[in-house]
């Protein structure tokens, strides 16, 4: 029976009491049956009650069993959770051990390996393959010995070595620094674990060891340096107590080296005061015996100070002599710089040495030329003489040899006194020094002469050296001035005759202009004019200091107007630091002829490519004509089947569209532009459209693949030059494939966009890049490849690896010129025999690509009026006439321009619009328009031509109201153009 609703706890099935309940129910039913059968209730009540009691006993036992099972299940769940937690902890611990930078290994109390990370294995490369759990340390040692891992200091019986290593392994001790078999130094720490195992940690200290070695070497080098210095050096602590010194210091200060340690600086210096120089140093001069010493005390950043002692005895004496020398010369000159320097110097020399006279001579080529000679205070004339006749030749040979600073031999003074120059001075004795220039080269000599032999005083030779140095300085100065004058004249000559213009500006006003600049600017007097006015545009900014001075530092300018022919210039500005303000050097390079040659060469290359295209284009057009003719004839045969005719005509239209696209590409590639026309193009679409153009150029044996890696890549560039650059790269790859042999190969063109901020090495490789994002055209071939030397020169003009007559060496140079002019770059990589990969980088822009506006969006059906149609091709004329007539116009058809002009002159008042071909025999479309507009300046005109380039520069002078349509012309575009002309 079902438990009554709303009575909780009666779900017997849910509590596992279904069986006892059934028994109870059966007992009740039996009792009820017996009562119905007429049996007395007491007769059956006893057994029923006993049965119920038995049932409840079973129920209690079942509930107890259920509670026990529930408790057991909970304990099992808790145990499972602990096991899972332990596994997670173990996994984390293993990951942590593998992640640390130190080597880690754990051995159990039985000496077996439990855990070892990869860093530990790398430290023992000889044993790395056997460092696995379970192996004993004893086995590792024996295997290491077998594999030769015992060090040279571990000789002896194997058992002894193993026992010693085991004992060290088991005993905890201080860390040891060891150089292991991987060549690196490690600090090894071994620790006993609580369970009786051993933990071993390896810390890589190779860098620490290297720094310690560097420190030791630096210390030794410092000590050697200190001892090699000719000055005295001493180090003092914060209390000015001497700590260390070099051997020169006690010798100069006359101090006892054994008593220097701990002495105060003031005691060593004799208590002479130090004079503060600034916040960081002090100085003084002291006298030690016959020496005059300069002492400089400089504090050290780490505390304490360094005292530097310099012997300035000779220096001070020389200063005094030079001061006296300068004062004497200046006084005799009257302080106004008049007079002759060398006679005054020679007289001062004689006075300083207390001799009769002095001679100063300059060495010019192979002779001595006296520049000053005095005796007894009066000038003396001494004639120049060849060096060989002066007895000074030996002196100069000695001066230029290894012993140039040594005194003269004893017999030399007598010989000098007997020489002709000395006799002119009535010399009985001489004292001579060679005058040396700044580089040590002999320049002449100074000589002190006397009527009797000279006995040089102790400082005589030093004074002579001072006078020789002063004479050398003046000779150097005079020669430098002469060289400067010569150099100025020479460079003025070079600048005036330089083939490129040179301007110098200050405050944007021209201060100097050479002849070439005046010729380029067509201005004989540009001085004082503004640079912007002369160049007709804002001048380029000066190149920053340190920037390269190549072509990349220059910008192109075009000079127009002023009654002069158009000129193309490269203009560069470079800062010049001059007195009176910063100046600027402006360089003008006239590249008009070069640009013309480049344009002519580009056109020639295009025509050459068009010549190569001839066979392929014929093949492509034959395929298209086959499709057009075939489908047209199939439509003719089954005119009644409308669906078949429509299908055939659709294929005819597709084939004609493909032919038109190929023709447009061919015309755009081969046309000549007067100037660059930079527009925004989508590189992906442009290269895709080139596929049909490149296919016949490359030939059937080259497998061409175009793979865009991005959906769009827009750049601002001249489309014709970009197209030519891609074609040049493709032709270069084709030639490399053909050179590799057989002509079979693969050419892949990929398009991508890169970010210079994410590619750290891009600017290092290509420093000329301007901008951040660049569109990349990557051309890869399977040709011959190239070596490193060729890669460095491949973009040079006229450099080619092709045989004579097979290449100009300008194709890749034009690619390079396009890239650098646009602010991009081009790079190449490859190896001999492994093909090459060229990457053309151009700055990417976000501006949408410019597209031609299609006039066929709306089909016009409500034309009116009369059209005068002039077309020399009859099929085209009939086609245009039918289109216009079907849409409500009256059409007067003419076979050429002359016939159309006759119709206009006879029926001109009824003509509403002229539809004419631009190129016709006799009178062309442009001349026809001019003639008709003489009668009606407001005539509406629609011109049609198969060569769109003609319209770019020839339609502008016709005025307004002229619409141009490029052939082939579809009906919708024609109707739209005519309707627009009628509505205007």
> What DSSP element (H or E) covers 443?
strand 442-450
Looking at the structure, tell me whether residues 538 and 682 fall in a common domain: no
DSSP state string for 248-307: HHHHHHT--GGG-TT-BHHHHTTTPPPEE-SSS-EEEEEEETTEEEEEEEEE-TTSSEEE
pLDDT in tens, 600-636: 766 666 666 555 555 556 656 666 676 677 767 777 7
Of the residues 816, 851, 886, the one at which a domain ends = 851
Write the secondary structure of 722-781 as one string of H (helix), E (strand) and C (coil).
Answer: HHHHHHHHHHHHHHHHHHHCCCCEEEEEEEEEEECCCCCCHHHHCCCCCCCEEEEEEEEE
Q: Is the pLDDT of residue 84 over 60?
A: yes
CA distance 967 to 373: 98
How would you classify the pairing of strands 866-870 and 501-506? unpaired
Tokens representing 358 are 């002095």
Least confident segment among 34-43, 149-158, 274-283, 962-971: 34-43
Looking at the structure, tell me whether residues 138 and 94 fall in a common domain: no
Q: Residue 270 pairs with which residues in a beta bridge?
A: none
Looking at the structure, tell me whether residues 651 and 685 fall in a common domain: no
Least confident segment among 447-461, 738-752, 815-829, 889-903: 447-461
**Per-residue burial over 396-409, b = 16 or more CB atoms within 10 Å of its CB, e = otherwise:** bebbeeeeeeeebe
Task: Select the more confidently predicted residue: 322 or 732.
Answer: 732
CA distance 294 to 287: 9
Looking at the structure, tell me whether residues 665 and 688 fall in a common domain: no
Task: Select the more confidently predicted residue: 244 or 18.
Answer: 244
| Most confident listed range (383-387, 538-542, 543-547, 926-930) | 926-930
Looking at the structure, tell me whether residues 797 and 685 fall in a common domain: yes
CB 252 within 8 A of CB 258: no
**Per-residue burial over 198-237, b = 16 or more CB atoms within 10 Å of its CB, e = otherwise:** bbbbbbbbeeebeeeeeeeeeeeeeeeebeeeebbbbbbe
Residue range 162-174: average pLDDT? 73
Residue range 152-159: average pLDDT? 69
Query: Is residue 351 assigned to a domain?
Result: yes
Residue range 154-178: average pLDDT? 75
Task: Select the more confidently predicted residue: 406 or 717.
Answer: 717
Q: Residue 556 pairs with which residues in a beta bridge?
A: 570
Residue range 462-472: average pLDDT? 80
Q: Percentage of the chain surpassing pLDDT 90?
A: 6
What phi, psi does 292 have (nearest 5°)?
A: -110, 120
Give 784's pLDDT tier (boundaries 50, 70, 90). confident
pLDDT in tens, 325-345: 666 555 444 434 445 788 888
Tokens representing 116 are 């070892």
Average pLDDT value for the chain: 75
Tokens representing 658 are 């493909």
CA distance 28 to 34: 10
Given the structure tokens 């039985």, which residue do they identify? 110
Query: Is residue 281 assigned to a domain?
Result: yes
Query: Is residue 810 assigned to a domain?
Result: yes
Burial class (CB in 10 A: 0-12, 13-18, 19+), 242: buried
What was the pLDDT predicted at 13?
Answer: 45
Q: Residue 828 pairs with which residues in a beta bridge?
A: 838
How would you classify the pairing of strands 567-578 and 367-375? unpaired
Query: Is residue 214 assigned to a domain?
Result: no
Helix (H, G, I), strand (E, B) or coil at 113: strand
What was the pLDDT predicted at 168?
Answer: 73
What was the pLDDT predicted at 126?
Answer: 82
Task: Select the more confidently predicted residue: 445 or 155.
Answer: 445
What CATH number is associated with residue 138? Answer: 3.30.450
Please state the length of the chain: 984
Q: Which residues have CB under 8 Å from 982's CB, separation 6+?
A: 863, 864, 865, 912, 913, 940
Q: Is the pLDDT of residue 716 over 60?
A: yes
Give 456's pLDDT tier (boundaries 50, 70, 90). low
| Most confident listed range (514-523, 631-640, 775-784, 852-861) | 775-784
Give 714's pLDDT tier (boundaries 50, 70, 90). very high
To the nearest 10°, report the CA torsion of 629, 634, 638, 643: -100
What CATH number is associated with residue 574? Answer: 3.30.450.20
Q: Is the pLDDT of residue 552 over 70?
A: no
Q: What share of the chain is helix, strand, coil (3-state, %, to 5)?
A: 45, 20, 30
Least confident segment among 145-159, 663-677, 811-825: 663-677
Of the residues 428, 456, 484, the one at which a domain ends = 484
What was the pLDDT predicted at 5?
Answer: 42
Query: Is residue 406 assigned to a domain?
Result: yes
Query: Is residue 489 assigned to a domain?
Result: no
Task: Select the more confidently predicted residue: 292 or 890.
Answer: 890
Q: Which residues have CB under 8 Å from 740's CB, separation 6+?
A: 782, 783, 784, 833
Query: Is residue 328 assigned to a domain?
Result: no
Looking at the structure, tell me whether residues 363 and 462 fall in a common domain: yes
Given the structure tokens 């490690």, which residue do they identify? 186
Note down the domain range covering 540: 497-590
Radius of gyration of the chain (CA): 53
Residue range 294-316: average pLDDT? 83
What CATH number is associated with residue 432? Answer: 3.30.450.40
CA distance 541 to 553: 10
Residue range 408-425: average pLDDT? 52
DSSP state string for 542-573: PPPTT---SGGG-EEEEE--TTS--EEEEEEE
Task: Select the more confidently predicted residue: 201 or 226.
Answer: 201
> What DSSP element (H or E) covers 323?
helix 313-332
What phi, psi does 836 have (nearest 5°)?
A: -140, 155
Least confident segment among 134-143, 308-317, 538-547: 538-547
Query: Is residue 320 assigned to a domain?
Result: no
Residue range 741-753: average pLDDT? 86
Q: Total domain count for the chain?
A: 8
Looking at the structure, tell me whether residues 354 and 452 fall in a common domain: yes
Q: Is the pLDDT of residue 751 over 80?
A: yes
Looking at the structure, tell me whether residues 756 and 842 fall in a common domain: yes
CA distance 813 to 799: 9
Q: Is the pLDDT of residue 943 over 60?
A: yes
CA angle 828, 833, 837 (to 5 degrees): 20
What CATH number is associated with residue 897? Answer: 3.40.50.2300
Of the residues 590, 622, 637, the one at which a domain ends = 590
Looking at the structure, tell me whether residues 680 and 788 fall in a common domain: yes
Looking at the structure, tell me whether residues 631 and 573 fall in a common domain: no
Q: Is the pLDDT of residue 221 over 90?
A: no
What was the pLDDT predicted at 893?
Answer: 92
Looking at the structure, tell me whether residues 380 and 366 fall in a common domain: yes
Tokens representing 50 are 């006993």
* Region class of 198: left (phi > 0), else alpha (psi between -120 and 50), else beta: beta
pLDDT in tens, 848-887: 766 543 333 445 457 888 999 999 888 888 888 888 888 8
CB 368 within 8 A of CB 393: no
Give the chain's largest Cα–Cα span: 185
Q: Percentage of the chain surpassing pLDDT 70?
A: 73
CB 118 within 8 A of CB 216: no
Looking at the structure, tell me whether residues 833 and 885 fall in a common domain: no
What was the pLDDT predicted at 7?
Answer: 41
Q: Closest Cα partner for 647 from 658, 632, 629?
A: 632
pLDDT in tens, 429-443: 777 878 877 667 778
What was the pLDDT predicted at 672?
Answer: 44
Tokens representing 853 are 């506006």
Q: Which residues have CB under 8 Å from 116's CB, separation 6+?
A: 104, 105, 106, 131, 132, 133
What was the pLDDT predicted at 684?
Answer: 92
Is the bond leading into 472 cis (omega within 30 degrees of zero)?
no
Write the secondary structure of 384-426 as one string of H (helix), E (strand) and C (coil).
Answer: CEEHHHCCCHHHHHHHHCCCCCCCCCCCHHHHHHHCHHHHHCC
Give 2's pLDDT tier (boundaries 50, 70, 90). very low
CA angle 693, 696, 700 (to 5 degrees): 140
């Amino acid at each position: 029976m079902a438990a009554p609703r709303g009575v909780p706890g009666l779900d017997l099935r849910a509590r596992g009491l279904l069986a006892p309940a059934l028994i109870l129910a059966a007992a009740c039913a039996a009792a009820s049956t017996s009562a119905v059968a007429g049996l007395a209730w007491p007769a059956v009540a006893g057994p029923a009650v006993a049965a119920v009691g038995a049932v409840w006993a079973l129920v209690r036992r079942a509930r107890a069993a259920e509670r026990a099972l529930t408790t057991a299940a909970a304990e099992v769940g808790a145990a499972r959770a602990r096991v899972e937690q332990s596994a997670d902890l173990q996994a984390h611990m293993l990951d942590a051990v593998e992640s640390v930078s130190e080597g880690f290994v754990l051995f159990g109390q039985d000496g077996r390996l439990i855990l070892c990370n990869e860093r530990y294995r790398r430290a023992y490369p000889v044993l790395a393959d056997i460092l696995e759990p379970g192996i004993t340390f004893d086995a590792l040692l024996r295997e290491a010995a077998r594999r030769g891992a015992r060090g040279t200091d571990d000789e002896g019986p194997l058992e002894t070595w193993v026992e010693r290593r085991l004992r060290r392994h088991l005993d905890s001790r201080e860390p040891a620094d060891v150089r292991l078999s991987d060549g690196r130094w490690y600090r090894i720490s071994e620790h006993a674990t609580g369970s009786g195992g051993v933990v071993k940690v390896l810390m890589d200290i190779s860098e620490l060891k290297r720094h310690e070695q560097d420190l030791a070497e630096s210390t030794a080098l410092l000590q050697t340096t200190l001892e090699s210095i000719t000055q005295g050096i001493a180090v003092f602590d914060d209390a000015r107590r001497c700590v260390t010194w070099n051997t020169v210091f006690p010798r100069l200060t006359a101090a006892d080296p054994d008593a220097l340690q701990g002495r105060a600086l003031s005691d060593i210096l004799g208590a002479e005061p130090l004079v503060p120089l600034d916040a960081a140093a002090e100085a003084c001069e002291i006298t030690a015996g016959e020496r005059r010493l300069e002492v400089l005390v400089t504090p050290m950043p780490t505390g304490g100070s360094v005292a530097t002692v310099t012997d300035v005895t000779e220096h001070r004496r020389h200063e005094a002599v030079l001061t006296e020398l300068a004062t004497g010369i200046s006084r005799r000159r009257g302080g106004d710089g008049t007079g002759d320097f060398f006679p005054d110097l020679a007289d001062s020399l004689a006075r300083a040495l207390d001799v009769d006279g002095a001679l100063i001579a300059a060495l010019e080529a192979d002779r001595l030329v006296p520049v000053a000679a005095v005796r007894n205070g009066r000038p003396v004339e001494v004639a120049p003489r060849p060096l060989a006749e002066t007895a000074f030749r030996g002196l100069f040979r000695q001066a230029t040899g290894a012993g140039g600073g040594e005194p003269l031999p004893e017999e030399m003074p007598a010989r000098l006194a007997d020489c002709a120059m000395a006799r002119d001075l009535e010399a009985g004795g001489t004292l001579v020094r060679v005058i040396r220039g700044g580089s040590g080269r002999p320049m002449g000599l100074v000589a002190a002469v006397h009527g009797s032999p000279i006995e040089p005083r102790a400082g005589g030779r030093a004074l002579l050296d001072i006078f020789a140095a002063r004479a050398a300085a003046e000779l150097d100065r005079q020669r430098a001035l002469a060289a400067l004058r010569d150099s100025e004249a020479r460079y003025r000559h070079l600048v005036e005759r330089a083939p490129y213009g040179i301007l110098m500006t200050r405050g944007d006003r021209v201060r100097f202009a050479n002849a070439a600049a005046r010729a380029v600017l067509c201005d004989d007097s540009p001085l004082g004019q503004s640079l912007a006015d002369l160049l007709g545009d804002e001048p380029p900014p000066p190149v920053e200091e340190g920037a390269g001075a190549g072509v990349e530092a220059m910008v192109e300018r075009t000079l127009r107007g002023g009654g002069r022919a158009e000129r193309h210039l490269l203009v560069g500005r470079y800062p010049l630091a001059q007195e009176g303000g910063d100046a600027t050097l402006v360089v003008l390079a006239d590249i008009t002829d070069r640009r013309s040659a480049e344009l002519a060469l580009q056109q020639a290359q295009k025509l050459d490519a068009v010549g190569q295209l001839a066979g392929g284009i014929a093949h492509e057009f034959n395929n298209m004509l086959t499709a057009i003719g075939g489908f047209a004839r199939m439509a003719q045969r089954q005119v009644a089947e409308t669906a078949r005719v429509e299908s055939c005509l659709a294929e005819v239209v597709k084939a004609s569209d493909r032919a038109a696209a190929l023709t447009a590409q061919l015309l755009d590639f081969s046309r000549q532009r007067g100037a660059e026309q930079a527009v925004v193009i989508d590189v992906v679409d442009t290269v895709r459209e080139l596929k049909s153009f490149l296919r016949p150029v490359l030939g059937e044996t080259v497998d061409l693949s175009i793979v865009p890696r991005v959906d769009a890549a827009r750049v601002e560039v001249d489309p014709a030059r970009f197209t030519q650059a891609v074609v040049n790269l493709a032709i270069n790859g084709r030639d490399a494939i053909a050179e590799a042999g057989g002509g079979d190969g693969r050419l892949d063109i990929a398009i991508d966009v890169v970010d210079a901020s994410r590619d750290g090495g891009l600017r290092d490789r290509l420093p000329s890049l301007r901008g951040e994002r660049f569109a990349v055209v990557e051309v890869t071939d399977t040709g011959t490849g190239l070596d490193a030397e060729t890669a460095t020169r491949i973009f040079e003009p006229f450099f080619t690896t092709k045989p004579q007559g097979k290449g100009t060496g300008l194709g890749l140079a034009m690619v390079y010129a396009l890239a650098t002019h646009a602010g991009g770059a081009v790079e190449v990589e490859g190896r001999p025999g492994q093909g090459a990969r060229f990457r053309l980088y151009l700055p990417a822009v976000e501006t949408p690509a410019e597209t031609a506006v299609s006039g066929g969006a709306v089909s016009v059906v409500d034309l009116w009026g009369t059209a005068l149609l002039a077309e020399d091709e009859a099929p085209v004329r009939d086609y245009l006439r039918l289109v216009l007539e079907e849409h409500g116009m009256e059409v007067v058809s003419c076979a050429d321009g002359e016939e159309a002009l006759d119709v206009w002159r006879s029926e001109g008042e009824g003509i509403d619009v002229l539809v004419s071909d631009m190129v016709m025999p006799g009178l062309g479309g442009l001349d026809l328009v001019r003639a008709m507009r003489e009668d009606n300046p407001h005539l509406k005109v629609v011109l049609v031509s198969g060569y769109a380039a003609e319209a770019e520069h020839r339609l502008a002078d016709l005025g307004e109201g002229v619409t141009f349509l490029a052939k082939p012309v579809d009906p919708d575009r024609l109707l739209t153009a005519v309707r627009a002309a009628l509505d205007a």
